[in-house]
């Protein structure tokens, strides 16, 4: 019996488990470690986000080949994508679908001419928090008044076919479509669904108990 056969005979269950887990993470679901605060307060630095990789496409495992489309992103969803423009994997909120006209005036979003429902919940001289309603999804946005407001306005633009406009919830601290442009459909990798667990980097990497398996779409 060869050396490789011995390894297989002695460890075949473990090897099969690793193989199946790798296939699962490649094509079905995975988690994403959030390195920045661009999605605060919805997502904190240190969160591990579960991503449904079958939400929009079923891909051949360990490849970029799409076997078939399973769905389309909706406004308000949080998506993970491999941005060629940013040369990085990013996580942002879906705001504009193909054909939508999007505008931002003093932090306020307009979609196809209609202003989104926007309710300020907390404000002081340093920051502002507001609940923003995107279709059926309500979420909290953060505006850091200490940062320049150069990203707080843009004129009406139409999202081209096969592309999307995405924004971070931390509006003045997010490099998103205002910086890198529209996101092509083929760059989408999945829909963020849940915070699996979270480490507090400012508190000796201790886990945040209140974020264990937290629904990412709950306020």
| Per-position DSSP letters for the chain, written without gaps between them | --HHHHHHHHHHHHHHHHHHHHHHHHHTEEEEE--SSTTTTTS-TTEEEEEETTSSEEE-TTSS-EEEE-----TT-EEEEEETTTTEEEEEEEEE-TT-EEEEETTEEEETTEEPEEEEEEE-SSEEEEEEEETTEEEEEEEETTS--TTS-EEEEEPPTTEEEEE-SBTTS--SHHHH-PEEGGGEEEEEEEEEEEEETTTTTEE-GGGTTEETT--
**What's the whole-number average pLDDT of the chain?**
91
pLDDT at 31: 76
**What is the CATH superfamily name and number for domain 3-215?**
Umud Fragment, subunit A (2.10.109.10)
Residue 152 has what pLDDT?
A: 95
Q: pLDDT category, 35, cuts 50, 70, 90? A: confident
pLDDT at 88: 95
Confidence of residue 60 (pLDDT cuts 50, 70, 90): confident
Q: Bigger pLDDT: 170 or 68?
A: 170
The confidence band for 65, taking pLDDT boundaries of 50, 70 and 90, is confident
Indicate the pTM of the whole model. 0.90
Average pLDDT over residues 184-203: 95
What are the residue ranges spanned by the domains of the chain?
3-215
**Residues known to be catalytic:** 38, 92
């Amino acid at each position: 019996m060869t050396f490789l056969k011995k390894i297989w005979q002695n460890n075949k269950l473990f090897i099969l488990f690793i193989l199946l887990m790798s296939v699962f993470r490649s094509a079905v679901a995975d988690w994403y470690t959030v390195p920045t605060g661009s999605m605060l307060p919805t997502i904190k630095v240190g969160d591990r986000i579960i991503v449904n990789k079958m939400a929009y496409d079923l891909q051949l495992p360990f490849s970029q080949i799409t076997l078939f489309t399973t769905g389309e992103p909706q406004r308000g969803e949080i998506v993970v994508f491999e941005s060629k423009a940013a040369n990085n994997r990013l996580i942002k909120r879906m705001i504009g679908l193909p054909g939508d006209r999007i505008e931002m005036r003093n932090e306020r979003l307009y979609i196809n001419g209609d202003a989104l429902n926007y309710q300020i919940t907390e404000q002081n001289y340093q920051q502002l928090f507001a609940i923003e309603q995107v279709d059926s999804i309500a979420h909290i946005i953060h505006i850091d008044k200490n940062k320049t407001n150069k990203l707080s306005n843009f004129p009406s633009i139409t999202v081209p076919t096969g592309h999307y406009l995405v924004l971070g919830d931390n509006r003045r601290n997010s490099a998103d479509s205002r910086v890198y442009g529209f996101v092509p459909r083929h760059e989408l990798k999945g829909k963020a669904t849940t915070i699996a667990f979270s480490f507090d980097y400012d508190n000796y990497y201790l886990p945040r108990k209140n974020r264990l398996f937290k629904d990412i779409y709950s306020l």
